[in-house]
Amino acid sequence: MNREYRERLESDERMARELLEQMEMEERRREEEDEQLARRLAGEMENNTLTEDEFDDDIVFQAEVEEDVGGDEDMARQLEAEAQAEAEALQPREEEDERAGRVAALINMFPDADPTFLDDRMEEVNNEEDFRHAVEALLACQRTEPRMSGHQRKLKQCRAAPDALDDAALHNPHQEFLGLPAATLAAASVRVMECTICFEEEVPLKDVASCNALYKYHEFCIECIRKHVAALIGQGHNSFRCMNGYCEAEFSWRTLRRVMEPVVYRKVQERRQQEEVRAAGMDNLVSCPFCCFMIIMPDPENKVLECLNPECLKESCRVCKEPSHIPLRCEEVERDDQKDARTVLENKMAEAMIRQCPKCEKRFVTEGGCNKMTCACGTVMCYLCKAVITQGYHHFEQRGVASNK
């Protein structure tokens, strides 16, 4: 044991001596490098005939130059940022000037057209290519579009009898933008057009709205649009296409707001939002059975849906869609309801009359009339056999089901 201990000590001493030798060699090497560097600097000073003070002054001057250069770079970056901010601030004004220039060009190209009509055509124009397409579309409809002709004649009538125009007719929101006389812009407000649905020949411009097609749009009177929208709402639709059978465009929300009651307009918006959420195909999306509230519930063990809609705030079972019955299970609640024989009979009779939509699972009944039922989500089904209907009344004619039409 003593021999092994002595051998270990000797080994440790050898390692220590080797480390000391390496440290001494490293120190000598660094000293030699420092001496070589000092000799090289001294030689450069002699060749340049610089004293130590001059050499130090040169180093200080170089540092000051570098500091000045850094300051100039900071100033350049600041100026560049200010120029960019100024350019961004001027961009909206430039876009407005470009749009005004395009409108002025259209007025020169089509002097007999309604200026407000030309101004509206520039709403969707963002570049020269769009402007070229707009001009081509205006040329194509120059003979068929009433607002592309007759403006000069109406302008002369307005100038001949300016007292016939009231203050409301003289006011036009585009007057300041176009820089045109009030009588010029008022000519459009006193003109009339013919509705292609009801064929009313004298519909004022203020009572006219169009679909949202970019170029070949179609105009109708507000009353016809109101009836069309009401009929589509009754059929469960949430989108409202143009009344022209060949047009794929829809009526804008701005037009719908004009023809709908505020409550109906808000409900239609909510239904459209629900459709878009369902179409997104999100997993674990649960809807409240008592209102339009929806929430994602990833935990399948959580059986209670707590509605956060301030107008509802109800708790329901996400399995049976009934009010929350925790800690009872769904089947236990049903057994409690079946204790009373009269209640059971009434429930069975109600279930025989109630139908459930196969798409949105909403429940509804009918009080008579046609057996072709249309759900609020747009799904059509047979009230008798509960089959989904896709083509008119073909289902009732083929199977001999009474439609009670």
pLDDT tens-digit readout, 141-165: 665 666 666 555 555 555 555 444 4
Structure-model confidence comparison of residues 175 and 378, the more confident one:
378
pLDDT of residue 176: 39
The H-or-E segment that residue 9 falls in is helix 2-47
The answer, yes or no, to whether residue 244 has pLDDT greater than 80, is yes
Q: What is the pTM of this model?
A: 0.35
pLDDT tens-digit readout, 93-136: 667 777 777 777 777 777 777 777 777 777 777 777 887 777 77
pLDDT of residue 64: 59
- Rounded CA gap, 99 and 308, in Å? 46
pLDDT of residue 62: 58
pLDDT tens-digit readout, 170-211: 344 334 334 445 554 454 445 677 888 888 877 888 888 888
Q: Exactly one of 291, 312, 320, 370 is catalytic; which is it?
A: 370
Residue 360 CB partners (closer than 8 Å, separation 6+):
375, 376, 377, 379
Structure-model confidence comparison of residues 55 and 138, the more confident one:
138
Task: Kindly report which listed range (6-10, 43-47, 207-211) carries the lowest average pLDDT score.
Answer: 43-47
For residues 59-71, average pLDDT = 57
pLDDT of residue 175: 41
Structure-model confidence comparison of residues 323 and 365, the more confident one:
323
Query: 171 to each of 149, 161, 175, 219, 368, how far by Cα in Å?
Result: 22, 17, 8, 23, 53
pLDDT tens-digit readout, 251-301: 888 888 888 888 888 888 888 877 777 777 778 888 888 887 888 888 888
Q: Residue 404 burial by CB count (10 A; 0-12/13-18/19+): exposed, middle or buried?
A: exposed
pLDDT of residue 173: 39
Backbone dihedral angles phi then psi of residue 388, each to the nearest 5 degrees? -80, 130
Residue 265 CB partners (closer than 8 Å, separation 6+):
256, 257
Mark whether 370 is an active-site residue: yes
The answer, yes or no, to whether residue 70 has pLDDT greater than 60, is no
Query: What are the chain's domains?
Result: 2-83 (no CATH), 194-281 (3.30.40.10), 293-353 (no CATH), 355-405 (no CATH)
Dihedral angle computed from the Cα positions of residues 226, 227, 229 and 232, in that order, rounded to the nearest 10 degrees: 170
Question: What percentage of the chain exceeds 70 in pLDDT?
Answer: 68
pLDDT tens-digit readout, 321-348: 888 888 888 877 765 555 666 677 777 7
CA dihedral (141, 145, 147, 153) positive or negative:
positive
Highest-pLDDT range among 33-37, 178-182, 303-307, 336-340? 303-307
The answer, yes or no, to whether residue 306 has pLDDT greater than 80, is yes
pLDDT of residue 83: 63
pLDDT of residue 61: 56
pLDDT of residue 115: 74
Q: Name the average pLDDT for the chain.
A: 73
The answer, yes or no, to whether residue 232 has pLDDT greater than 80, is yes
Pairing status of strand 285-287 against strand 219-221: unpaired
Structure tokens belonging to residue 46: 């002699």
pLDDT of residue 290: 85
- Rounded CA gap, 222 and 202, in Å? 13
For residues 76-93, average pLDDT = 65
